[in-house]
Amino acid sequence: MHVIEFQGPDAKPVGSKAAGNPVAPISEMLEAKTLLVNNRPVLLATGPYVLATAHLMEQDALLWHEQSAGLYRWNQLHAVHVQDRMLEPSGLLLCRVQPNEGEKAETSGEKVTSNELRTRLLEFRVELCKAGLEQVRRHLSVRISGGQSTFQHQLVKGMVADILTTLYMAETLPEDRFLSANPGLPSVRVHAWIHQELDEAFRQIQRLGGGFGFLRHGVSAYTYAGQLVKNMLLPAKEEY
């Protein structure tokens, strides 16, 4: 994980060299986390909705339908693109899908599991949070408050430290040896807790971004996509 260096040589205050590492487009982040089976991307539908990109669809994507515990080809599905203006800057596509009547899901052996696909989408949300933090870092490094970069203020540093702690936890907890030794603790509960911690990290990022944090083309693009992932993955509260 990239750890922000507040006083590092890259902490320049202005222009294209301002602090903050460049981040990949949101659509490319999802594509990088997508499982491939025989060079075909596998998308996850835990309910009626699925996230995709135009590039993934061009690669003859498959759909893992969690309720059926099997794979569907796209031509076996009735799919409707959901118009969402908040998603437009991200390049993500939200589709409502339902298997066509009479279509049978294909089993995949051990190549595909719901847990692996859920974990990959959780990792995608972590990447969104990291990217949002980098955008805020760049935004604040060019702003001056009290004669210094806003990013150098102690309160801001404390908020960023909290976010980094959450990101470290999110990246390491799924592989924690204690959890691995306790199979009685369902992974869905571990994931739910991580998602809840990420909620607070995203809130901190938006507060740090000020008005910039709430622009559709700013930090909110990462927050909105991340919230959508969480809503798709988490069951009803009483179920976990």
Q: What is the pLDDT of residue 216?
A: 61
Residue 133 CA to residue 137 CA, distance in Å, equals 6
Q: Which three-class secondary structure state does DSSP give residue 60? A: coil
Q: What is the pLDDT along the chain (240 residues), one digit of tens a residue?
A: 333 333 333 433 333 343 456 778 999 999 999 999 989 999 999 999 999 999 999 999 999 999 888 899 999 999 999 999 888 888 999 999 999 988 888 876 567 888 899 999 999 999 999 999 998 888 777 777 767 767 777 788 889 999 999 999 888 876 655 555 556 667 778 888 899 999 999 999 988 887 665 666 678 889 999 999 999 998 655 443
Q: What is the pLDDT of residue 21?
A: 65
Residue 177 CA to residue 25 CA, distance in Å, equals 33
Residue 237 CA: distances (Å) to CA of 51, 189, 226: 22, 10, 18
Q: What is the pLDDT of residue 68?
A: 85
Q: What is the pLDDT of residue 1?
A: 39
Residue 165 CA to residue 162 CA, distance in Å, equals 5
Q: What are phi and psi of 176, to 5 degrees?
A: -60, 135
Q: What is the pLDDT of residue 152?
A: 73
Domain boundaries, the chain: 112-239
Q: What is the pLDDT of residue 22?
A: 73
Q: What is the CATH code for 112-239?
A: 1.20.140.10
Residue 50 CA: distances (Å) to CA of 79, 106, 121, 159, 233: 10, 18, 11, 33, 10
Q: What is the pLDDT of residue 189?
A: 82
Per-residue pLDDT tens over the stretch 144-173: 776 776 777 778 888 999 999 999 988 887
